[in-house]
Structure 1
Amino acid sequence: MRSSSIPLKLGTLSGMVAAALPSLQRDKLLEAVVLAGVGACVSFVVSLVLKGLFKRLKAWFLKQRDSN
């Protein structure tokens, strides 16, 4: 039973891809890829900035606590 379900799943997936492929527009796909790349870069830079900010704030709070 299991061996027959694998070709069925593969055939279903192939059919879905074959049906969806003609409706994809190359410029829209390129736009999506570029926007995903820009979003990933912005997310990375923001996480680095926040990491540095929290590190400085932590050092400042520890310094304030030690001086009291």
Structure 2
Amino acid sequence: MNSSSASLKLGILSGMVVAALPSLQRDKLLEAVVLAGVGACVSFVVSLVLKVLFKYLQKRFFKPRDPNS
């Protein structure tokens, strides 16, 4: 990627941000940030619970076979 391509992409991105700023409302933005944080925390906790559950089920139902028998 050359410098003119990078500056073009940066210019487009900053133009989009500046154009969108007046339409944003603070309460809606705060609500979106809070909901995103709650969603990320719930996703993390669910993934941890599923990891523990799968390890338990694997130990319970898929016991390794004894190679000497």
Q: TM-score, normalised by structure 1?
A: 0.72
CA distance change for structure 1 residues 49 and 7 in 2, over 3 Å: closer, same or farther?
Answer: closer
For the aligned residues, what is the CA RMSD?
2.5
Number of residue-to-residue matches in the alignment: 64
CA–CA separation in structure 2 for the residues paired with 1:6 and 1:48: 39
Does the alignment pair 1:39 with 2:68? no
The gaps in structure 2 that reach 5 residues or longer are: none
User: Counterpart of 1:17?
Assistant: 17
CA positional deviation for 1:19: 1.7
User: Counterpart of 2:57?
Assistant: 57
Structure 2 counterpart of 1:55, which letter?
K
CA positional deviation for 1:20: 1.1
The gaps in structure 1 that reach 5 residues or longer are: none
CA distance change for structure 1 residues 54 and 20 in 2, over 3 Å: closer, same or farther?
Answer: same
CA distance change for structure 1 residues 25 and 57 in 2, over 3 Å: closer, same or farther?
Answer: same
Stretch deviating more after TM superposition (39-48 or 12-21) = 12-21
Structure 2 counterpart of 1:23, which letter?
S
- Structure with greater proportional helix content: 1
CA distance change for structure 1 residues 48 and 20 in 2, over 3 Å: closer, same or farther?
Answer: same
Q: Secondary structure at the match of 1:28?
A: helix
Q: TM-score, normalised by structure 2?
A: 0.71
